[in-house]
């Protein structure tokens, strides 16, 4: 019994290390074969439509509601200190620094990441990737790399749109519904939001999240056992792993970016 448990543990460890090694080789191969994604940018644009444009509805609607909730909650807290005019700052900074990149990334992982894994996994299960190899076309260059770059480019754009819609939602609730002064809302926001410290760092975060989510989604699809159960398991793993990785990376990036600010 004990021997069996130790054997199982050893096997799982070896499998885990092997998988990490395979994932690293996959990532390097993807970067090395990225030429196709740029030489034939039409392929990448096509994937940007599937990963980016088709994610717009969920991103925009979620952004609007998150911003509206921020407006309500923020107003209630700020009112206690008599500084409700700072609502614009609160909404904008919360969204641009944290909620925009993080929530958009979580939604992107659920909407686009799962779709990428399922698509690549099914292409593998139905031998489409093998067929491509046999036609002397490298699937990493033709299928994987354009999807990777489409995800990396789409993610910051989606995060920016999420933040913009969120700020609009905060404005609707704060200014139009509750009656916070419109001039104070916008002017305080403009003076407090720093391009480099806030917006650029938010963009860097969303690019990093885009790289992480798309790599995980593509790898899980490529490595999925070619069965219905295998593809379903890989899709679930994409969403769970991507979400956890996004949250962990957010902490690490935030620690580096905003350390020491008053």
Partner 1 sequence: MQNDNLVEIEDVEFGYGDRPVLKGINLTARRGQVIAIMGSSGCGKTTLLRLIGGQIKPGQGKVRVAGESLGELDSAGLYRLRRKMGMLFQFGALFTDISVFDNVAFQLREHTDLPEDAIRDLVLMKLHAVGLRGAAQLMPAELSGGMARRVALARAIALDPMLVMYDEPFAGLDPISLGVTGNLIRRLTDTLGLTSLVVTHDVQESLKIVDYVYFVSEGVIVAEGTAAEIRASGLPYVHQFVHGEADGPVPFHYPAPSYADDLRLGGQSA
Q: Which residues bind partner 1 (CB under 8 A)?
A: 126-128, 130-131, 133-138, 142
Q: Which is nearer to partner 1, 134 or 255 (CB)?
A: 134
> Between residues 13 and 130, which has the closer beta carbon with respect to partner 1?
130
Question: What dihedral do alpha carbons 73, 93, 104, 207 form, nearest 10°?
Answer: -170
Residue 199: CB minimum distance to partner 1, A: 37
Q: Is the Cβ of residue 133 or residue 181 nearer to partner 1 in the bound state?
A: 133
Nearer to partner 1, 17 or 137 (CB): 137
Write down the least CB distance from residue 3 to partner 1, Å. Answer: 20
Minimal distance in Å, beta carbon 39 to partner 1? 12
Minimum CB separation of residue 138 from partner 1 in Å reads: 7
CB of residue 1 to partner 1, shortest distance in Å: 24
Name the residue nearer to partner 1 (CB basis): 13 or 126: 126
d(CA 180, CA 201): 28
4: which 2 tokens?
A: 């069996």
Tokens found for residue 234: 């890989």
Q: Name which of 7 and 127 has its Cβ closer to partner 1.
A: 127
Distant-in-sequence contacts of 250-258, Cβ < 8 A, 24+ apart: 250/98, 250/101, 250/102, 250/205, 250/209, 253/201, 253/204, 253/205, 253/208, 254/97, 254/98, 257/197, 257/201, 257/204, 257/205, 258/97, 258/197, 258/201
SS3 percent helix, strand, coil of the chain, rounded to 5, is 90, 0, 10
Enumerate residues 6+ apart whose C-beta is below 8 A from 6.
none
- State in angstroms the smallest separation of the CB of 115 from partner 1: 12
């Amino acid at each position: 019994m004990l021997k069996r448990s130790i054997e199982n543990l050893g096997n799982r460890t070896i499998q885990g290390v092997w998988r990490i090694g395979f994932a690293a080789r996959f990532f390097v191969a993807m970067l090395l074969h990225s030429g196709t994604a740029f030489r034939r940018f039409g392929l990448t644009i096509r994937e940007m439509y599937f990963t980016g444009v088709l994610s717009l509805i969920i991103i925009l609607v979620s952004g609007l509601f998150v911003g509206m909730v921020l407006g309500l909650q923020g107003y209630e807290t700020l009112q206690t200190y008599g500084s409700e005019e700072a609502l614009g700052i609160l909404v904008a900074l919360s969204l641009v620094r944290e909620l925009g990149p993080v929530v958009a990334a979580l939604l992107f992982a659920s909407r686009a990441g799962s779709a990428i894994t399922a698509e690549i996994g099914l292409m593998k299960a139905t031998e489409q990737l093998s067929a491509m190899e046999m036609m002397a076309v490298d699937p990493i260059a033709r299928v994987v790399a354009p999807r990777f770059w489409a995800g990396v480019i789409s993610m910051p754009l989606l995060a920016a749109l999420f933040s913009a819609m969120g700020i609009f939602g905060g404005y609707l609730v704060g200014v139009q519904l509750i009656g916070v002064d419109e001039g104070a809302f916008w002017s305080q926001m403009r003076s407090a939001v720093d391009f480099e410290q806030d917006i650029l760092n938010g963009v860097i975060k969303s690019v990093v999240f885009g790289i992480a989510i798309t790599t995980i989604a593509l790898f899980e699809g490529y490595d999925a056992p070619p069965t219905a159960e295998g593809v379903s398991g890989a899709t679930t793993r994409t969403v769970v792993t991507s979400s956890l990785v996004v949250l962990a990376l957010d902490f690490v990036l935030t620690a580096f970016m905003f350390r020491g600010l008053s």
